[in-house]
Amino acid sequence: MGTNRATRLALRLATALTLAFIYIPIGLIVVYSLNEAVTPAWPPTGFTLRWWGVAFENTGLRQAFLTSVTVALGAMAIALVLGTLAAIAVARHRFFGREAISFFVVFPIALPGIVTGIALNSSFTTVLVPLGVSFGMLTVVIAHTTFCIVVVFNNVVARLRRTSTSLEEASMDLGATRSEEHTSELQSH
């Protein structure tokens, strides 16, 4: 009993130290951004929102923020669709090459980022540039999507493996159809 209590205490302490290591610097940046002084000073001489106004007026900063949001939303939308479809195929169906597809989807995050970046650059140069697609927002969204798909895929596969197929069978009792049946019905009309 005593060892179990000591282990829990050590785990809580390690968690608190790790969170402090991550969040205290972020908190200090926020405090410095509200500091009245022109240079970082501790303790702050006073508090003001002046620096936030200066940052908001900076058009380059605003444009960079909007570009980041656009890339994030685009990568997220594509990754949600492709990652979910791949996860459903791998978790719910048996077919030749299933493990290879699973490996292929997870591979970009298993490699160091620089290797994936070089591979994407080479692919874009040999495939997209000859088609008239230059490096820009599209290629940045595609590159970010390769990493986001892994996160979606892993989470959806994990959830599907823990979710019983009896839920899908129950939904079919209520009138739902399998995607293959629904597709064939649409094609027959």
- Which of 67, 102, 69 lies closest to 83 in space, CA to CA? 102
The model's confidence at residue 25, banded by pLDDT at 50, 70 and 90, is very high
Q: How many CA atoms lie within 13 A of 44 on its CB side?
A: 12
The model's confidence at residue 182, banded by pLDDT at 50, 70 and 90, is very low
**Mean of pLDDT over the chain:** 84
Q: Which pLDDT does position 115 carry in this prediction? A: 87
- Which of 182, 184, 116 lies closest to 149 in space, CA to CA? 116
Q: Which pLDDT does position 2 carry in this prediction? A: 61
Q: Which pLDDT does position 141 carry in this prediction? A: 93
Is the confidence at residue 187, as pLDDT, over 60? no
36-57 pLDDT, tens per residue?
Answer: 877 777 787 888 888 888 888 8
**Across 78-103, average pLDDT:** 87
The model's confidence at residue 75, banded by pLDDT at 50, 70 and 90, is very high
Q: Which pLDDT does position 135 carry in this prediction? A: 83
Is the confidence at residue 180, as pLDDT, over 60? no
> How many whole angstroms separate alpha carbon 124 and alpha carbon 129?
6
What is each CA distance from 8 to 17, 144, 169, in whole angstroms?
14, 38, 42
Phi, psi angles (nearest 5°) of residue 9: -65, -45
Contact 121, 143 (CB under 8 A): no
Higher pLDDT, 74 or 174: 74
Is the confidence at residue 178, as pLDDT, over 50? yes
Higher pLDDT, 10 or 108: 10
Q: Which pLDDT does position 1 carry in this prediction? A: 52
Phi, psi angles (nearest 5°) of residue 47: -120, 140
- Residues across the chain: 189
pTM recorded for the entire structure: 0.68
Angle at which helices 137-162 and 113-123 cross, to 10°: 120
